Structure 1
Amino acid sequence: MERITITVDGDLLAQFDAYMKRNGYENRSEAFRDLVRGKLEGERIASGDAAFCVGCLSYIYDHHERELARRLTQAQHDHHDLNLSTLHVHLDHDTCLEAMIVQGPTEAVKSFGNGVIAERGVRHGNLHIVPADVKIGRHAHGTGSDIKTPHVHSRPRT
């Protein structure tokens, strides 16, 4: 890790220190790294340089909306290659929240997420994606296993 020195005015430093306190950072270095990392990853996504991503698609909907639950389930099945897991929560008698962990080519994940959020009856939705490095390989998992099947490992950039 490299050490750098930066100069900022007092007002900006006060805002930064308040940001650190609000978000529970113990030191300026970690807060600074997270801000820079977030900005750079956001630019990668916006520019189209992030070929692969992981993320969370969350949305709230009225389960009484005509055929919506069926349409959402069908969308998940149609894109099973992107959907790793879905958590379904009943918020009240009418309202559900789903949080879906997604992974795949960034443009495909964005398209899928936007399609779900745009469904009639989905009230609120958000797709949070993080660019990821992908490694596809064959290796065994577990002790005593010699079965080597191809699969994907992805991890966010550090």
Structure 2
Amino acid sequence: MRSEARTNTHGQYLRGGKAMQRITITIDDDLMAALDRMIEIKGYQNRSEALRDLARTGLQQASLEEGQMEACVGVLSYTYDHSARDLSKKLTNTHHDHHNISVASMHVHLDHDRCLEVSILKGKTDDVRHFADHVKAERHVTHGTLAVLPL
């Protein structure tokens, strides 16, 4: 459902009660075609929303790289060999020891030997990264990825 666009008494463009700035950019034909393909594939309603999402993602990444993001939510996903001696117990203890960061987990049995764990982490960005790095560095944790979102 599309919200109606209006202007306020200052001539600012409003959408959903939020002031928006109208800008003009120049993009070469190949980049525009690629952007339009992405818009179609992802189902954006318009180019503006797609560009806003791309800008937010780029700004978030820059904040992460510059260490400016204080608090975050992280999604840590990793696979491991559950038959490795004491690994499951060690991972569980790590989560319990950091209950202030590790707020939820989902466990999936992939096959006879491998498990997938998806953990929701919340806290200071440095603490979340440190926790994730510690888990991913465990012997027999085979793959690990941390996705970080700003709070």
Q: TM-score, normalised by structure 1?
A: 0.80
Unaligned segments of structure 2, at least 5 residues: 1-19
1:139 aligns with: none
Cα displacement (A) at 1:55: 1.5
Cα displacement (A) at 1:30: 1.2
1:65 aligns with: 84
Question: Which residue of 23, 26, 38 corresponds with 1:7?
Answer: 26
CA separation in 2, counterparts of 1:2 and 1:72?
Answer: 48
CA separation in 2, counterparts of 1:93 and 1:24?
Answer: 38
CA separation in 2, counterparts of 1:116 and 1:82?
Answer: 13
Superposed, 1:3-152 pairs within 5 Å as 3-132=22-151
Cα displacement (A) at 1:96: 0.8
Instruction: Indicate the RMSD between aligned Cα atoms, in angstroms.
Output: 1.0
1:152 aligns with: none
CA separation in 2, counterparts of 1:31 and 1:56?
Answer: 23
Q: TM-score, normalised by structure 2?
A: 0.83
Letter in 2 for 1:99: V
Unaligned segments of structure 1, at least 5 residues: 133-158
**Aligned residues with identical type, % of pairs:** 49
Cα displacement (A) at 1:24: 2.7
Which structure 1 residue ranges, 4+ long, deviate > 3 Å from structure 2?
none
Letter in 1 for 2:68: D
